Structures are given as C-alpha cells and as structure tokens.
Amino acid sequence: MRIGELSRRTGVSVPTIKYYVREGLLPAGRLSSPNQASYDETHERRLRLIRALLDIGGLSVAGIREVLAAIDDPGQSVHKVLGEAVHLLVPRYEADPDAAMIAARAKVAALIERRGWEMDAEDSQSEALAAALAALDRVGYGSYAEAVLDDYADAAEKAARADLAYVGRSVAREDMVESSVVGTVLGEAMLAALRRMAHVDASARTYETE
C-alpha cells in the first residue's frame, strides 16, 4: 500500500509516519518507483505498536527505538531478551541514593526473600520498586507502603500468573519479546486503570452516603 493508505488505516498522519522512518522506528517502505514507497502489513502492525507505546505507555521516541531494537534482535535466549526489553521500559533513577532509597532497597531485598522470587535485588525492576517505596517514604507515606506491600505483591503475582498462562498457551516463541513489551506496557495501563476504578467503587460505597 502507499503511505496515504497506511496513514488512513492507522490514523497516523503522513508527516508523522515519515518522521518515524527518519528516526529509525519504522522500516522504510520498499521503493516501487524512485519517489514512491510501498508499505505492507508489517509496517501497519509496527506503526500501531509505536503509537501504543507512545500514547498509552508514555515512552519517549528514544525509548521506543531501543525497545524495538531489542524486539528485532534475533538469537538470544528468551529470558535474556525479555529481561533486556523490559529493562529498557524502566525509568532511570538518580545514581546517588539517599537514606530513604537505601532503606527502601533493604525492604525490597526482604520482600524478594520472603516471597521466594527468583531474581536479583539489584535488577532494574527491583530498583523501580525501591524508588517508589523511597518516594512514598519521603512524602510521609512510608507506613502506607509497609501496610499494603504484601497485598500488592499478591495482586501483582495474580496478574503475572494470568499473563504467563496466556503467553504459554498462545504466543509463538518468535513473538514472545514483542508480546512481553506489549503486555508490560499496556497490561500495566490496564491494571492501573482497573485499580483506579476499584478505588472509585470503594470510595462511592464508603463516602457517598455521607
């Protein structure tokens, strides 16, 4: 198809599609004449993925470029590529830890131990949790984090188990990295929205009759 048709199908404007090609997010179309490029379903699919990561996942163009490179990188072990792809999705936190961050890291290490999770307390996901716990502590909500942490870990395990059950049943090996990125970013948006909805429900039940 021509770029105009690709634009119509995906709702992404022609200049934006050209920008993604220039930025290396989207492969160039196949030249069918010196100034006419042709696009196919793989472009359409990739373009939808880019938009989802941008609009719902809130990733930057540079972040998406790295994630797509990991998706397209063949021949590594699944666990390793999954780890790398998802690692790239984690926001970076300052290197210089304060007291709140040091205490939070200890809480994360204790949690990993307590739950028997097979992972490194120094990996990027653990750091992201420590950063969230440290931020809660700094704004005076350390006791909240402490009170809910294990219930949250139960909830997270429930979601992760549902994901893995689906992946094991339905996802071909070669699609696994892409599906992991999609599941991480969009599944997170889905879970976040559901949690907020559950809050609205709980708040309505608790406070609306006041």
The DSSP letter of residue 175 is G
Structure tokens at 8: 């119509």
Task: Please give the Cα distance from 130 to 103 (Å, whole number).
Answer: 9
- Please state, in angstroms and rounded to a whole number, the distance separating the CA atoms of residues 60 and 205: 39
Q: Which of 42, 72, 73, 166 binds a copy of itself (CB under 8 A)?
A: 166
Of 189-208, which residues contact a copy of itself (CB under 8 A)? 189-208
The Cα–Cα gap between 11 and 48 comes to 9
Backbone phi, then psi, for 88, in 5-degree steps?
-65, -20
Q: Which is nearer to a copy of itself, 35 or 200 (CB)?
A: 200
Closest to a copy of itself by CB, 36 vs 143, is 143
Number of residues that bind a copy of itself (CB under 8 A): 90
Do 108 and 121 contact (CB within 8 A), yes or no?
yes
For residues 33 and 96, which CB has a smaller minimum distance to a copy of itself in the complex? 96
Specify the stretch interacting with a copy of itself by CB under 8 A; choose among 14-22, 24-32, 66-74, 151-159. Answer: 151-159
- Quick one: which segment of 12-20, 23-31, 66-74, 161-169 binds a copy of itself (CB under 8 A)? 161-169
- Please say whether the beta carbons of 101 and 131 come within 8 A: yes
Q: Using alpha carbons, select from 24, 87, 73 the residue that is nearest to residue 50.
A: 24
According to CB under 8 A, which residues from 56 to 85 bind a copy of itself?
56, 58, 77-79, 82-83
Residues 15-54 that bind a copy of itself (CB under 8 A): 45, 48-49, 51-52
Q: Which of 35, 75, 170, 174 binds a copy of itself (CB under 8 A)?
A: 170
